[in-house]
Structure 1
């Protein structure tokens, strides 16, 4: 789901929560407060947690806080639970809209990379293998730089970032070696050595980088 669709979904669920809250009714008996339609609230909770996990990641403080509020609590009315869930939801929505979530940043970055890789495919289909290899190489290097930043590693040249990420456990030695091979194709393309790689090498390069993005930049 794109970032714009996630933003729209946040607004949709916020409105749905307001509808549920506005339909509240006074509690029966001697207890003060209000109750809401618990089935409607449950349905909203399921949709909300799904959205939060997509936008914030399953291990985020937003999701953990939301699940904590979902736990049963003595003497709490359903309307009070709704307000607490709404507070957590609003905090996540504010962070999302402000661009303060890593997963959102990764999602937006992935959208940009997808567009660039599509451009590389078009160039390759037009027999511009050098340009396609250079663009794909830039996507790969930028991805490694982002991963280093996320892990607190100092970004640098591609080979160094590749080694540092493998050493940190971001991926294994086999992946490191594959990235080294792809970097060699990128370097040959950047220096105009088209005779040192084939179109098939660039096809494999694009496919691998697409898979690498899915594995390491997915929210």
Structure 2
């Protein structure tokens, strides 16, 4: 899971900071410093992790980036940067980042949708159908998992029923979703005569709508 990977990286970066090689100033100045390469390596990796975990517009990312731009090798300067990292780490480990799996997955599924639209525009209806259907099925399962539902080896129809039963989809989205398993089956079983361009457009449109409502940060 993406969440587990991020959690492990937070711990790795905390260890890296703990082992930062502070040195005394050679001119006898009070305090210590960190050789430029060491703290910048840590800070660059940390900024990347915080951006991925929280999003670029988050206070954690903005505060870290703003402070990073002003940081130098002095111990007190690097320690201040570490304080922002600790706040992000504590919030992440405390469960206050609810959308990390959804947001990152949404970006991946979004790429599939772009490819599907491009394929459809070039007349490759069948390719577009497969791409959109695969993205849809994975998105539904990913969303169900984040909501605590056991999807296991369940079919797409089973996952749809789970989501509906849990009240996680409703309104027009629920009505449209009922038609998706049949279209998905036709696409992934190469039953091209059962799929029209409007059908493929409807799959793509549904995936786009689902990602916007369920996977946006």
The TM-score, its normalising length taken from structure 1, stands at 0.58
Equivalent in 165, 168, 176 of residue 167 of structure 1: 165
* 2:120 corresponding residue in structure 1: 124
Post-superposition CA distance 1:68-102 (Å, at most 9, x none): xxxxxxxxxxxxxxx9xx967733256669xx944
For the residues of structure 1 that align with 2:201 and 2:216, how far apart are their CA atoms?
22
* 1:75 corresponding residue in structure 2: none
Task: Tell me how far 1:176 sits from its aligned partner.
Answer: 3.2
Asked if the contact 1:188/1:196 (under 8 Å) is kept, the reply is yes
* 1:11 corresponding residue in structure 2: 64
Specify whether residues 173 and 17 from structure 1 end up closer, same or farther in structure 2 by C-alpha distance, changes over 3 A only.
same
Specify whether residues 102 and 197 from structure 1 end up closer, same or farther in structure 2 by C-alpha distance, changes over 3 A only.
same
For the residues of structure 2 that align with 1:102 and 1:122, how far apart are their CA atoms?
32
Q: Structure 2, unaligned stretches of length 5 or more?
A: 1-50
Asked if the contact 1:163/1:176 (under 8 Å) is kept, the reply is no
RMSD: 3.5
Task: Tell me how far 1:163 sits from its aligned partner.
Answer: 0.8
* 1:144 corresponding residue in structure 2: 140
Specify whether residues 168 and 191 from structure 1 end up closer, same or farther in structure 2 by C-alpha distance, changes over 3 A only.
same
For the residues of structure 1 that align with 2:189 and 2:92, how far apart are their CA atoms?
41
Q: Structure 1, unaligned stretches of length 5 or more?
A: 23-82
Paired residues in the alignment total 154
Asked if the contact 1:123/1:129 (under 8 Å) is kept, the reply is yes
For the residues of structure 2 that align with 1:149 and 1:168, how far apart are their CA atoms?
12
The TM-score, its normalising length taken from structure 2, stands at 0.59
* 1:113 corresponding residue in structure 2: 109
Determine helix, strand or coil for the equivalent of 1:171. Answer: coil
Aligned ranges for residues 28-177 of structure 1 at < 5 Å?
Answer: 90-93=86-89, 101-155=97-151, 156-172=154-170, 174-177=172-175
Asked if the contact 2:180/2:203 (under 8 Å) is kept, the reply is yes
Specify whether residues 143 and 113 from structure 1 end up closer, same or farther in structure 2 by C-alpha distance, changes over 3 A only.
same
